[in-house]
Structure 1
Amino acid sequence: TPNDALHFACAAGALAATRPGAQPSLGDRAEVEALMAQGSA
């Protein structure tokens, strides 16, 4: 759903903001889903 896509995008952005660099800071799907499962994003 669009809502799920927005939640995923927010979690991916939050994860990327914790690391230096542009492309190197991007997490993979498993990392984003793990962050979402924690309820942190």
Structure 2
Amino acid sequence: MPSGYLNGVSGSLRPLQNPHLRRISALCVYALWVLLAHLPI
């Protein structure tokens, strides 16, 4: 994995230091997890 990719990921994660954005992202991840859990795979 190139270091440039890691720098891009850390740069995109930096706005998540905002507690409000972190809560929104957590809700999105939870919603995706629930949807995947209910899919008949």
Q: TM-score, normalised by structure 2?
A: 0.46
Q: Which has the higher helix share?
A: 2
Structure number with the bigger relative contact order (C-alpha 8 A, sep ≥ 6) is 1
Task: Please say which structure displays the higher CA radius of gyration.
Answer: 2
TM-score (norm 1): 0.46
